[in-house]
Amino acid sequence: MLQITHLTKTYGDKKAVDDLTLHIAPGEIYGFIGHNGAGKTTTLKSCAGILPFDAGEIRINGIDVSANPLEAKRVLAYLPDNPDLYNFLSGIQYLNFIADIFGVEKSVRAERIRRLADSFELTADLAQPISAYSHGMKQKLAMISGWLHEPKLILMDEPFVGLDPKAAHLLKEMMHEHCDRGGAIFFSTHVLEVAEKLCDKVAIIKEGRLITSGTMEEVKGDASLEDVFLELEESHEA
Amino acid sequence: MRLKALFRVRLASLKSSLTGANRSTRKRSKAQILGFAVLMLYTFGYFAFMLYTTFDTLAGPFSAMDLGTIYFALAALMAFALMFVGSIFSAKAQLYEATDNDLLLSMPVKPGEVLLSRMLLLLVMNLLFDLIVAGPAMLAWFQAAGFSLGSFLCSFAVLFVLLPLISLALSSVFGFLLHLISARVRNQSLMTVVLSLAFLAVYFVAISRMNIWITNLAADPTPLAHAIGGVAPLVWLGRACVGGDLLALGALALLTAALLLLIWVALERSFVKTATAKNSVAKVKYVEKAVDAVSPDRALLRRELKHFAACPSYILNSALGVIMAPIAAVYLIIKRSSLLPLMQEPGFGFLLPLLPLLLLLGLCFMASMCTVTAPSISLEGKSLWLLQSLPVTPRQVLRAKLRMHLLIALPPMLICSVIFIALLRPSLPFAVCVLLLPAACVLFTGLLGLFENLRHPNLDWINETQAVKTGMAVAVTMFATMGLLMLPILVIIFFGDMIPPVAIAAGLLVLVLLLCLLLWRWLVTRGEERFRAL
């Protein structure tokens, strides 16, 4: 579903991502772990077609992101860590805007908005302007908009930050359902317990370079993911 | 120390929006900053010179009749009006609607220090406005009445210290009231636009009648002297400025200090509550309705129009030409009978054959004041990631912004053109120019606005007003279009008797269309790349 091959992205002289290769198959929930500034957001933004990169290739469902950005974007959803949405729109106007851009049929979008907004308990607030939403409500609205066009690949940057426990639980369920239907999820997180319980596979990145990746069992063995992460970080510092 | 740091942050924010030192663009070169400074100085100098000529007319007669007190009271009232109107909406935005209020209030900083740092910036703004009026007023007076150090020092203290402080106090309190009202009104955008237009209407009436008032005043200042003589603080102000009356200066200083203290205590006590209050507008309950599914292009256009309608400063700063165009058309209808005889008067007669062309250029001038696209990319701000991650091309985004500009600006311009043709009944070729030239100017400002905003974006603003008001793209777009319209004026001056007006209009039309073509070529090639790289 997502093939990142030898991805390199530099900002000036600094290599934010250095020769990163990762393959994410349909049905997989793939966690992306690393310290602050390790290159997680840059990788996710490159996959979403937001950031142009210097070398390598990114393919989404076989589509080259650089060569066919529009086709690639049609099958993915990207949810950033800080959902800066359009404050001048109401929640429902925002969802309709996203549905229009992705060409979601009228009847289909109405049913999906109803179902997703009810699940996140946001229905009553949909007529409110987004400027009146709390951070968590914006996060929920961004989640609904991400699922609205039923993308094949969902890219999420720290999706659990700001969500209340109920919404976080619902999100985990939705992630599983999405992957059960053949979709894939690639997300970054600092919450290692969540990654340990939720992910099929995990990749650890440091200073733009991949330290390790694989199934959860391959990466952590009998230890906890937290212990493995800290150990790997230290060993690469030495 | 903390206050200094807070004030520095405010200045840095202002500086970054002026010099483009933000993440979205390379830092401006020294030449660009110098160019911008020259442009600002020119604008400042232009208004200061206009006011100097006004005060120069008044200073002689007032000095001769020993009415210096009244002269300075009048100058102070004019300076106060400009400072107050110029800073009231900034006071609302800077004091209570800055997005870093929460951050600063979470720090070990007294709320009063946050408030004071913001008020200091407002004071700087007030001083700049003050300088435009009070500077020429003092210069004209001392030229007419003779220089005396005592009088100069006292008038300086009154006009450049006390008066800006009075304006600061009152604009802060009115900013507070506006914030309170807008937090309780559902359609804040409409309310702000209506209020601002009311201010503007008063301003334009004052400006249009200024000449008559000044002439009448110069001929007979006694009615004004009687009116002002009844207001003690104005008399103290005048006495302090003219005769260096220290008692009057002290009384005025005490009054200013009392006003400032009173307002400071009230604002400082309520600052945290006001700055952190949520809108108390009743919640709108969502009721599911059938919606139209539209194409991505239409959805982008709708989004642009909603953004425009939701941002009063965007409407007022970018669409003033549109608001003025129908007013100008109605004015033309009303004044038609008096305009033509005026042009036939001795000394103006030579203008009669040029009247249609001059009016047409006036129409184009109004089109140049509609700069809807110029801040439109900056206004994406931190939400830019959305457009970049959605399956839409930069061209679609830029086209939606241009369409919004055309939708807003073209209809009023076309209405004006039709009224123009109906009233003046020009020849068919000239009528074609009347229809096409303002429309071409609208297209040109739209394209130039996008071009400039792609070259000078500011995505790191704290509030939208900052993106709209202090963006370099807006100023450059407006002045560049006005500069273009100076070309036919130069042609009229140097070759007016050789080239017929219709040829000048047609030549300008061809030039504008050619420039539009070049701008469009740039936008769909390098412009798209720039948008991707933002």
Smallest Cβ–Cβ distance between A101 and the set B287, B383, B390 belongs to B390
Assigned domain for B288 exists: no
Q: Are residues B357 and B238 in the same domain?
A: no
pLDDT value at B490 more than 60: yes
Q: Are residues B214 and B314 in the same domain?
A: no
Residue-wise DSSP of B108-149:
SS-HHHHHHHHHHHHHHHHHHHHHHHHHHHHHHHHHHH---H
CB-count exposure of residue B103 (10 Å: 0-12, 13-18, 19+): exposed
A181 vs chain B: nearest CA distance in angstroms? 23
Model confidence band, residue A236 (pLDDT cutoffs 50, 70, 90): low
Q: Domain tally for chain A?
A: 2
Smallest Cβ–Cβ distance between B286 and the set A52, A85, A127 belongs to A127
Q: What is the arithmetic mean of pLDDT over B122-136?
A: 91
Q: Are residues A145 and A40 in the same domain?
A: no
Could you say which of A105, A133, A150 is where a domain stops?
A150
pLDDT, position B500: 86
Pick B481 or B341 by higher pLDDT: B481
Span A189-229, pLDDT tens digits:
888 888 888 888 999 888 888 888 888 888 777 777 777 77
Query: In this prediction, what percent of chain B has a pLDDT beyond 90?
Result: 25
pLDDT, position B28: 62
Q: What is the arithmetic mean of pLDDT over A48-62?
A: 90
Sorted by sequence, the CB contacts under 8 Å of residue B110 that are 6+ apart come out as B2
pLDDT, position B138: 92
Q: Which domain holds residue B528?
A: 296-533
Q: What is the arithmetic mean of pLDDT over A19-28?
A: 92
Could you say which of A150, A182, A207 is where a domain stops?
A150
pLDDT value at B141 more than 80: yes
- DSSP lists the bridge partners of residue A212 as A204
Instruction: Give the separation between CA B255 and CA B184, rounded to whole angstroms.
Output: 33
Q: Are residues B458 and B361 in the same domain?
A: yes
Whether A35 and chain B come into contact, CB under 8 Å, resolves to no
Contact B303 A86 (CB under 8 A): yes
Range with the lowest mean pLDDT among B53-57, B278-282, B360-364? B278-282
Could you say which of B276, B309, B327 is where a domain stops?
B276
Instruction: Give the separation between CA A173 and CA A139, rounded to whole angstroms.
Output: 16
Q: Domain tally for chain B?
A: 2
Whether A152 and chain B come into contact, CB under 8 Å, resolves to no
Q: Which domain holds residue A229?
A: 2-75+152-237
Pick A11 or B182 by higher pLDDT: A11
Could you say which of B276, B311, B342 is where a domain stops?
B276
Most confidently modeled range among A189-203, B25-39, B274-288? A189-203
Q: Are residues B366 and B459 in the same domain?
A: yes
Yes or no: say if B359 and B332 are a contact pair by the CB < 8 Å rule.
yes
Span B163-206, pLDDT tens digits:
999 999 999 998 888 888 777 776 666 777 777 777 777 777 77
Contact B303 A105 (CB under 8 A): no
* CB proximity under 8 Å: A 81-100 to B: 82, 84-93, 96-100
Own/partner pairs for B248-251, CB < 8 Å, 24+ apart? B249/B154, B249/B157, B249/B158
Q: Most distant CA pair in chain B: distance in Å?
A: 76
Q: Are residues A68 and A97 in the same domain?
A: no
| Distance, CA of B238 to chain centre | 30
* CB proximity under 8 Å: A 125-144 to B: 125-128, 132
A146 vs chain B: nearest CA distance in angstroms? 11
Model confidence band, residue B24 (pLDDT cutoffs 50, 70, 90): very low
Whether B290 and chain A come into contact, CB under 8 Å, resolves to yes
Whether B294 and chain A come into contact, CB under 8 Å, resolves to yes
pLDDT value at A105 more than 70: yes
Query: In this prediction, what percent of chain B has a pLDDT beyond 70?
Result: 89
Pick B346 or B335 by higher pLDDT: B335
Map tokens 């209009």 to a residue.
Answer: B505
Q: What is the arithmetic mean of pLDDT over B489-494?
A: 85
pLDDT, position A30: 93
Q: Are residues A64 and A103 in the same domain?
A: no
Whether A123 and chain B come into contact, CB under 8 Å, resolves to yes
Span B465-478, pLDDT tens digits:
777 776 778 888 88
Residue-wise DSSP of B3-37:
HHHHHHHHHHHHHHHHH--STTSPPPPHHHHHHHH
Instruction: Give the separation between CA A207 and CA B110, rounded to whole angstroms.
Output: 39
Model confidence band, residue B19 (pLDDT cutoffs 50, 70, 90): low
pLDDT, position B23: 47
Q: Are residues B332 and B452 in the same domain?
A: yes
Secondary structure element (H or E) that encloses residue A24, with its range: strand A14-24
CATH of the domain at A45: 3.40.50.300
Yes or no: say if A111 and A96 are a contact pair by the CB < 8 Å rule.
no
Instruction: Give the separation between CA B299 and CA A97, rounded to whole angstroms.
Output: 6
Q: What mean pLDDT value characterizes chain A? A: 89
Contact A88 B291 (CB under 8 A): no
Using alpha carbons, select from B103, B250, B267 the residue that is nearest to residue B172: B267
Q: What mean pLDDT value characterizes chain B? A: 83
Amino acid at A222: D
Q: What are phi and psi of A58, to 5 degrees?
A: -125, 125
Q: Are residues A100 and A41 in the same domain?
A: no
Assigned domain for B17 exists: no
pLDDT, position B449: 93
Yes or no: say if A56 and A65 are a contact pair by the CB < 8 Å rule.
no
Contact B383 A86 (CB under 8 A): yes
Q: What are phi and psi of A3, to 5 degrees?
A: -120, 110
pLDDT, position B280: 58
